[in-house]
Amino acid sequence: MTKEDLVPPFAVIPGSQVHDVLTGREQHTVDLVEAAYRVHGEGDTVNPPSYFLRFPDRPSSRIIALPASIGGDTRVDGLKWISSFPENVAAGIPRASAVLVLNDYDTGYPVACLESSIISAARTAASAALAADWLSRAPGRTRPRRVGFIGTGFIARHIHTYLARTGWAFDEVGVHDLSTEYAGGFRSYLEESAEVGRITVHESAEELILSSDLVVFATVAAAPHVHEPSWFAHNPIVLNVSLRDLAPEVLLASANVVDDVEHCLKADTSPHLTEKLTGSRDFIDGTLYQVMAGQVDLPAVRPIVFSPFGLGVLDLAVGKFVYDEVRRRGESNVIEGFFHEVDRYGRAGAASSRS
């Protein structure tokens, strides 16, 4: 076996292939995310803090690096590199763009670069759908029949798709966005998606929250804009996906579940602001893994807020599935000769050592 045979090939997987693999496999993607949460909860992952690259001349923009390693049945290392440039929206292109690099578990060699905005949205939506399912199983809870979306972009659309394709059905679907154009566009998407629930575009966040049993925050808010706990007096389940919409007083009046305590309580997220206000983490009831493992008792008489910071191991789990499926189909776009130097001393030195 030559050194070239020992070095794994490097492939590039575009968004079209990612979309083709994941579309129609929403339940399987949720199952992948659940399995990744369990592996993480059992300690068989490495998930360092995310690194935020910020720009003094572009304060609203950022690029985030999420390195991670996951064991279990997945066994892959890697890095997601995802940018958020909100001004893109005004130009008619998506706010976020991303790539995911997968590294071979045994050699460390990069084996693939995948377009990852779809993977990121899919794992986020799968996480939200998984949390909604598990949190609605708490004693005294019933499965929500009225859902409301605050923020109507790419992530909101994916969350609705994942809910709809994993067995959720709603009598009412509420929509609110600061942009009437975006709210109208999301309503059109809902109508074209064969959503059977009555669709209402609400003029205010308060109106939507009061009308919803499941509330989804998927905005680009940089600071809390929802401050009134009384809006949640009907004890809804709240998917705090965008992390910064809710003021500490709302979280202090709620039961709080996160994906990972250390990761979520940083970068001025709503839980982080609550910790800084109170000087304590006692308001955190537990993690989603602990809910799934039966280690947390959630009250029926308070709102439940799920705040997921977003773990790199989830991207790896979904990305590895896409990579394996593309290879199984024989559709890998392998870049020949990507790793040019595979001999320690160069080809001349290698030839000399064999003589």
- Residue-level pLDDT at 342: 74
Q: Is the pLDDT of residue 128 over 70?
A: yes
How many residues in total does the chain contain?
355
| pLDDT value of position 347 | 59
Sheet of 284-287: strands edge to edge? Answer: 198-201, 172-176, 146-150, 214-217, 237-240, 304-307, 255-258, 284-287
Instruction: Convert the pLDDT of each residue in 174-213 to its tens digit.
Output: 999 999 999 999 999 999 998 999 999 999 999 999 999 9
The set of residues, in sequence order, having a beta carbon less than 8 Å from that of 201 and lying 6+ positions away, is: 174, 175, 176, 180, 183, 184, 187
CATH 3.40.50.720 location in the chain: 125-307
pLDDT of residue 152: 95
Percent of the chain residues topping a pLDDT of 90: 88
Q: Tens digit of pLDDT for each residue in 7-50?
A: 889 999 999 999 999 999 999 999 999 999 999 999 999 999 99
Render pLDDT for 217-243 as a digit per residue (tens, 0 to 9). 999 898 999 999 999 999 999 999 999
In which band, very low, low, confident or very high, does the pLDDT at 2 lie, cut at 50, 70 and 90? Answer: low
One-letter amino acid for residue 158 of the chain: H
CATH architecture classification, 125-307: 3-Layer(aba) Sandwich (3.40)
Torsion of CA 68, 72, 73, 74, to 10 degrees: 0
pLDDT for 1 equals 52
CATH number of 3-119+312-354: 3.30.1780.10
2-16, 111-125, 126-140: segment of lowest average pLDDT: 2-16
- Total-model pTM: 0.93
